[in-house]
Chains A and B, each alone.
Chain A
Amino acid sequence: MTTIDLGKRVLRRRDILALMGGAAVTGALGLPAWAQDAKKGGVLKVAAPANPSSLDPATGGAGSDHSILWTMYDTLVEWDYETLKPKPGMAKWAFPDAKTMVLDIATGIKFHDGTPMDAEAVKFNLERNRTDQRSNVKPDLSSVEAVEVTGPLQVTLKLKNPDTALPAILSDRAGMMVSPTNIKALGNETDRKPVGAGPWKFVRWNDNEIIVVARHDQYWRQGRPYLDGIEFNIIPENATALRSVVAGQNDMAFQLPARLKPVIERAKNLETVTSPTLYCIQLYLNYARSPLDNIKVRQAINFALDRDAFVKAALNGLGEPARMTLPSSHWAFNKDVAGMYPNNPEKAKQLLAEAGYKDGLELTIGGYTDQDSVRRGEVIQDQLGKAGIRLKFTRGTIAEISAQFFATEKKFDLLVSAWTGRPDPSMTYALGFDKGAYYNAGRTADPELSKLIQESRVSEDLTKRAEVFAKIQKFTVENALSAPLAFQFELDALSAKVKGFKPNLLGKPKFGNISLG
């Protein structure tokens, strides 16, 4: 797969699938299957890749939690599956002026415990999320100065500074509404007894084993959900997860590595679903110190990488070569900078020589020990080696290596890891590139970049915002502040009876459209 250059986003997505030669995604082609014959009832059994960090959206932190949280919690804002453009969820929003956001809540929503999901409940949640000491989402709501109840179903947010990333932020953890009654009763023990307003309510959670949810009869969306319940069987070893689906013990496994695609296709009665995601495999660079403080060395790395070959060799072709931190189907993608670093080892060598490394240089790099990470590392090592950049690898667990790179130790010049993507691109740049950001290992940022990141939150108009993001992307790519490699495609295995599943660009499955045929 080389260049994909088509006008419409949905078409592009379809075409990626066609080019991949992969099986059709039911939801993405023609009429969505769920619109035709959605049967009610049945329990979906899902092999889930990780034990959640918490079932309280405010106190948890792992990106793998969302798929499970969304079954129990509806969000104030939702997004379009293909492009992640925000759209109304439990509430509609408006910005009467730059520093005011008004949320109008839909009528008749009730939490699983019967508490009404009204303005008071939303205020309680937003206040808790932005001030509670146990809340991990405080920074997401740092632009909020005050939350006011301005009607039984209306909440007004007074902002310190314009923040049009808020709709997307409220489609994430910060917008998952929990029952105030439940939280008040539980005190600090909120992690394991979730009560939300989502399509299913909590039944049981055994660590590392199982999570069970069952239909919420008073769910506010008429006719939904289709499934009576979902059983998440937690199976971290993904080959084992797939075997459980092949054997018929589970109906679905998601977020599988590309190397398992042939296995799914070989199995009878299994459907393969592949779909683009924001999950960006990349090299993080510590550019606050020598030698990566030299822009020429950073650019040399980017020229030395052969992203098309990387997708083929490390992802079995199941991905999109990454030219920046956003994929081509994203609404804020800047196609003008996409061609900035074609694979050119000679150019890389020349840049290194200009930077004073005529005979190449050695860089330290951190990586993880799992099979897929090791394979990626080997491909990168080979590609950079051709330009005279020799890598000295240190491998370990994710917790160990990423802490050594990002936290206080500042080991390694590079880290091969991934950026899992965020609903709003400004979150990606604020968390990964801004001054003092944790995922910016060197913690330094050019004032111009910081200014642009703030500016990206001023206008509500997506076209205007896309213009600012174009500038941000130009800045990060020109200055080679990271070395993006590839957007990993989502790979899921579904048994034949699972109908209506629609993947999304965030790469974290939602189960609301699924029915069992």
Chain B
Amino acid sequence: MSNSGRLRIIGRRLLQSIPVVVLSTFIVFGLLKLVPGDVAVTLAGDNASDQRIAEIRELYGLNQPFFLQYGSWLWKAAHGDLSNSLISNEAVLTSIQRCLPHTLLIVVLALLTAMLVGIPLGIAAATKPGSWIDGFVMAIASLGVAVPNFWLGMLLVAFFSLQLNWLPATGAVSLMKDPWASLSHAILPAVALASGGIAEVARQLRSSLVEILSSQQVRTLHAKGLPPSSILWRHGLKNVSVNLLTVVSLLANRMLAATVVVEAVFAIPGMGGLIVNGAMNRDFPVVQGVVFTMVLIVVTLNLLTDILYSVLDPRISS
């Protein structure tokens, strides 16, 4: 596919993402308004009275019609202003700029860990199906899927932070400010988050690789006298790379969501804490802002995946 063709696809996909963003923020806004609970009550505080709550609705425009409230949020968002938190009055964009790097760092580290550990495990298992290595890898994989990441996180903290004192137990440091401290804070949460991912990558890779390696095509390659390593690397892995990409891209999306829990366990001030706090208090500008950003990230990830598909397998074009 030519470069211009690829650009056209990118352009088209970006345009397609606009309705996705609008629809998803609209649905979230609707949900926040539908579920019981009212930010005006939170704003009125401990000494709330019916009269004060009514005043606050008026003051913050919370008594305006549903579509008007959503419309004014969307209009501002389209102009790059994600409004301020209704509760703390911090600009939502400021919150996101501060929180997103913490979350992304953990997700990227976790994704790398999942691949760096999961791929060798998967290959080892697939090349000797039925052997003890295979059994071992599959046992680890089942365990990895079964163990909840927040629980693993607590175990990791208990051992590596509280017992051995090697790594910090809580918090996060900006990568720009102090790269080393930042990484040392991110290692444990990333490992906790990666456990399920390692398992998934290893399992998926094994099953698709086993299928390829037992195919007639590979039998022919063996018959031709190709060495097993060249069959594995040049023919086997190349064939499963598209599958692997699908797994990894889905994993990335899932990990973005799973950080909510891991962040709470490690007290990381990331996107998870932001949206949970926002949703609890019905602070809808914050929730909307986080959803907006996450949708953009997921859309970009999917777009990137699609482009990589066409690179890995030229038969996949539009």
Residues of A in contact with B (beta carbons under 8 Å apart): 47, 51-54, 60-63, 133-134, 136-140, 189, 191-192, 205-210, 233-237, 239-241, 243-244, 246-247, 249, 396-404, 406-407, 409, 420, 427, 431, 436-439
Contact = CB atoms under 8 A, between A and B. Distances in A.
B123 interface: no
Contacts of A403: 36-38, 41
A460 B269 CA distance: 48
B281 A399 contact: yes
Nearest to A427: B47
Contacts of B264: 236-237, 240
Nearest to B92: A207
Contacts, number: 144
B3 interface: no
B203 interface: no
12 contacts: A51-B277, A61-B43, A61-B44, A139-B49, A191-B88, A209-B98, A237-B267, A247-B170, A396-B36, A399-B38, A400-B35, A402-B41
B310 to A, nearest CB: 40
Given A247-B162, A399-B280, A436-B50, A192 B90 contact: yes
Given A54-B88, A208-B273, A402-B41, A61 B48 contact: yes
B47 A139 contact: yes
A208 B85 CA distance: 12
Contacts of A63: 46
A427 B49 CA distance: 13
Contacts of B53: 407, 438
Given A208-B277, A209-B98, A247 B168 contact: yes
A61 B42 contact: yes
Given A61-B44, A62-B42, A420-B46, 10 more contacts: A53-B43, A136-B44, A191-B88, A207-B274, A210-B269, A237-B267, A247-B161, A247-B170, A396-B36, A402-B41
Contacts of B157: 243, 247
B49 A437 contact: yes
B37 A400 contact: yes
Contacts of B52: 136, 138-139
Contact of A236 (B37, B44, B273): B273
Contacts of A205: 90
Contacts of B87: 53-54
B37 A397 contact: yes
Nearest to A53: B87
A175 to B, nearest CB: 14
B89 interface: yes
Interface of B: 35-39, 41-50, 52-53, 55, 59, 85, 87-90, 95, 98-99, 154, 157, 161-162, 165, 168-171, 264-267, 269, 273-274, 277, 280-282
A266 to B, nearest CB: 11
Interface pairs A-B: 3 shortest CB-CB: A61-B45, A209-B269, A247-B169
Contacts of B35: 400
Contacts of B85: 207
A420 B157 CA distance: 33
Contacts of A208: 95, 99, 269, 273-274, 277
Nearest to B281: A399
A207 B88 CA distance: 8
A143 B76 CA distance: 42
Contacts of B49: 139, 436-438
A404 B35 CA distance: 10
A192 B90 CA distance: 8
A364 to B, nearest CB: 14
Q: Which of A133, A134, A233, A407 has the most CB of B within 10 A?
A: A407
A353 to B, nearest CB: 35
Contact of B88 (A53, A237, A244): A53
B224 to A, nearest CB: 59
B101 to A, nearest CB: 12
Contact of A243 (B162, B277, B281, B282): B162
A63 B50 CA distance: 19
A406 B42 CA distance: 12
A192 B280 contact: no
Contacts of A235: 170, 267
A268 B281 CA distance: 37
B169 A399 contact: no
Contact of B170 (A53, A249, A398, A439): A249
B277 A136 contact: no
Contacts of A400: 35-37
A31 B89 CA distance: 44
A63 B45 CA distance: 8
Contacts of B281: 399
Nearest to A140: B47
Given A61-B44, A399-B280, A243 B38 contact: no
